[in-house]
Amino acid sequence: MARPYYVTTPIYYVNDRPHIGHAYSTVAADVVSRYERLRGKPTYFLTGLDEHGLKIERRAKEEELAPQDFVDRMAAPFRLAWEELECAHDGFIRTTSAQHRENVQALWKLMDARGDIYLDDYEDWYCVGCESFKTEKELLEGNLCPIHQKPVERIKERSYFFRLSNYTKPLLDFYEAHPDFVQPEARFNEVRSFVKEGLRDLSISRTSFRWGVPVPEDPEHVVYVWLDALMNYVSALGGPAEEGEAPLYDEFWQSSEAIKHIVGKDILRFHAIYWPAFLMSAGIRLPTQIWAHGWLTVNGEKMSKSLGNFLPPGPLVEAFGADVLRYYFMREVGFGQDGDFSHRNLLNRYNGELANGLGNLMNRIVASIVKKNLEGRVPEVDFDALSDADRQLIDKANVAAQEAAKHFEALAFHRALDSTWELVSAANKYVDSTEPWKLAKQDDKTRLAEVCYTVLETLRWLSIMLFPVMPKKCNELRAQLGMPPLLPTEQVDLWPSAWGGLRPGTQTQTATPLFPRFDESQERSILERLGVEDTPTQKKAAAMKETKQSENDFIEFDDFLKVDLRVAVVKEAERVEKSKKLLKLIVDAGEGRPRQILAGISEHYAPEDLVGRRVVIVANLKPRKLMGLESQGMLLAASDDTGLSVLGVDKDVEPGSPAK
């Protein structure tokens, strides 16, 4: 019996309109929920809006609106964005709802009854952008918040406190007992070290503004916006409640196999430390996993209004369609890592993978061979008579489906798509080598039928394996195969595992191509419409492409082989004292002993972002001393006018593997 599965996104602040950072989280959660639903699990997907707090109160004032009117107005673009992006959430929580307010107060009372809340005076720095207190140590020069780069405010007021300090040990014990609680692993290490330093009690109420949930029995105070916000995950289900009072809470919180919160790396601390501590205090079950994804830049730059590159998802959906954008989000960046949203890369992936890969496979067989030679019908074949080549493709399909499933379960979406694309490529190669167009001319109908069936059935498998990421396109693909749309059903596992689901005689349809190729002028006009200009580096690269290389510009292969390029795993990373640029890395290059490498990248990477990453190094460079430390190799990185990116590998190859 498949057990319930609960997946959530952060609830978004409504001070601004949705952008692709929000869309990235929401699409990821939608992909998870669609995958789990396909597997027959009762699934609940929650998203929503964080509508309280000082930041919202101030924005409403700027707009000369009452806070409630302001948040009501801002809710619509979020709902629309998720609809446009095919994000089929089951719940949409708004923290200004009465149900939520009551549940926040209920949580407060439970924590209070445990003796974990007390009143005291408080004075500290506060960042309104983060809605969070900051220690002096965290601030940048000039008292700036390290995330928002804006001045923090000094806050002094009477406040209720939560005895977070009491939870240092229980949290560490919990982490120990649940080694998958935070993903990716490197982020879990950060959380553990933070908690190990000892936790300070947390201020959980404010008196200097009104826009929030009143504290029970003391309405002068409003509940701290993060305590209010985190509670959304439980209040949306109607809890905490007595059994039977809130069926959603019973099913998806109390009896769930998985409660997964997808969050951005910037809000991990709130989810991995405060939230479990609040729940422990209230005696409520804890979530099973917090998944922290990385941040997206846009064409190499941090997204910000002042740079004018604040990217709403709507125009992109209009230009490419929801499924293509979803595919790009999930394929381009390893979930958990930072990445870049680049319009050019999107176009490249579209043409290279969707149009030339999957679209081409579809066109060659369904729209061409089957239509012209088999009256558009799925042919009948004798499975016992299949050739080795057919069997190899079937084996590939089995491996790809199992691998993709494993990766979807681990939220490694890019890997799930890698595995799926291995099948797409294998199927295209199979078509190249079996040459069905020749079989058609030779009038070898039996072999032609075998080849066409094998590809059509592969396409049927693909229509399921890609459904979590591209639901609409997959149903279009199925319609072309003469199959009904996928209808996930509880307790029915629809993931492909048995070959031969496609019935002989089924009438295929040739509608418009699934992924028509964009030619250069179409690409240019899309980019123009979206207001995207080439960066100076792109212009330079294009100019270089045009100037022909002369013979003298080439090197011999042997020259290249002199450079010992190897994959290494970063084990430790720290800043070099007194150096603005240098990081000291300890890497495992597969030599049985660590190597020390100094890299001038500290303006672009925080040390903790590198630990655990697979990088590429030049291993036979003469060691040299920098700032008194020896560097035993060089880390490879690419740079353009917008920044620098460390080179990596997209699979977990063994440390020490040569790169050539």
Residue 445 gets the label, from left (phi > 0), alpha (psi -120 to 50) or beta, of alpha
Q: Does the annotation count 452 as an active-site position? A: no
CA atoms of 16 and 51, how far apart (whole Å): 11
Q: How far is the CB of 10 from ligand MSP (least distance, A)?
A: 4
Which of 61, 302, 406, 540 does the annotation list as catalytic? Answer: 302
Q: How far is the CB of 209 from ligand MSP (least distance, A)?
A: 17
Which of 41, 87, 130, 414 does the annotation list as catalytic? Answer: 130
Starting at the edge strand found earlier in the chain, the sheet holding 214-215 runs 205-206, 218-223, 214-215
Q: How far is the CB of 168 from ligand MSP (least distance, A)?
A: 22
Q: Is 11 in the site for ligand MSP (CB under 6 A)?
A: yes
Q: How far is the CB of 263 from ligand MSP (least distance, A)?
A: 5
Q: Is 284 in the site for ligand MSP (CB under 6 A)?
A: no
Q: Does the annotation count 343 as an active-site position? A: no
Q: Does the annotation count 407 as an active-site position? A: no
The dihedral through the CA atoms of 71, 73, 76, 78 has a sign that is negative
Q: Is 267 in the site for ligand MSP (CB under 6 A)?
A: yes
Say if CB 460 and CB 496 are below 8 A apart: yes
CA atoms of 377 and 279, how far apart (whole Å): 58
Q: Does the annotation count 145 as an active-site position? A: yes
Coil, strand or helix: which one is 422?
A: helix
Using omega within 30 degrees of 0 as the cis cutoff, is the peptide bond preceding 436 cis?
A: no
Amino acid at 134: K
Q: Is 21 in the site for ligand MSP (CB under 6 A)?
A: yes
Q: Is 264 in the site for ligand MSP (CB under 6 A)?
A: yes
Q: Is 12 in the site for ligand MSP (CB under 6 A)?
A: yes
Starting at the edge strand found earlier in the chain, the sheet holding 117-127 runs 132-134, 117-127, 153-162, 202-203
Q: Which stretch binds ligand MSP (CB under 6 A): 8-16, 101-109, 187-195, 589-597?
A: 8-16
Residue nearest ligand MSP, CB atom distance: 264
DSSP letters spanning 85-138? TT---SEEEETTSHHHHHHHHHHHHHHHHTT-EEEEEEEEEEETTTTEEE-GGG
CA atoms of 584 and 573, how far apart (whole Å): 6
Residues ≥6 apart with Cβ < 8 Å to 622: none
Near ligand MSP in 37-76, by CB under 6 A:
50
Q: Does the annotation count 196 as an active-site position? A: no
Q: How far is the CB of 410 from ligand MSP (least distance, A)?
A: 20
* H or E element that contains 566: strand 565-575
Q: Which stretch binds ligand MSP (CB under 6 A): 5-13, 184-192, 242-250, 633-641?
A: 5-13
What tokens does 377 get?
Answer: 């019908």
Residue for token pair 């949580």: 107
Which of 127, 260, 271, 343 does the annotation list as catalytic? Answer: 127
Q: Which stretch binds ligand MSP (CB under 6 A): 194-202, 224-232, 454-462, 585-593?
A: 224-232
Angle formed at CA 207 by CA 202 and CA 211, multiple of 5 degrees: 100
In the list 4, 5, 6, 13, the residue contacting ligand MSP (rule: CB under 6 A) is 13
Say if CB 70 and CB 15 are below 8 A apart: no
Beta carbon nearer to ligand MSP, 333 or 568: 333
Beta carbon nearer to ligand MSP, 252 or 467: 252
Beta carbon nearer to ligand MSP, 21 or 334: 21
For residue 287, give the nearest of 381, 188, 181 by alpha carbon.
181
* Alpha carbon of residue 478 to chain centroid: 27
Beta carbon nearer to ligand MSP, 235 or 480: 235
Q: Is 296 in the site for ligand MSP (CB under 6 A)?
A: yes
3-state helix, strand, coil in the chain (%, to 5): 45, 20, 35
In the list 230, 481, 583, 610, the residue contacting ligand MSP (rule: CB under 6 A) is 230
Q: Is 303 in the site for ligand MSP (CB under 6 A)?
A: yes
Q: How far is the CB of 192 from ligand MSP (least distance, A)?
A: 21
The dihedral through the CA atoms of 608, 617, 412, 402 has a sign that is negative
Q: Is 10 in the site for ligand MSP (CB under 6 A)?
A: yes
Q: Does the annotation count 87 as an active-site position? A: no
Known catalytic residues are 19, 22, 127, 130, 145, 148, 302, 305
- Which positions touch ligand MSP (CB under 6 A)? 10-13, 21-22, 24-25, 50, 229-230, 232, 263-264, 266-267, 295-296, 303
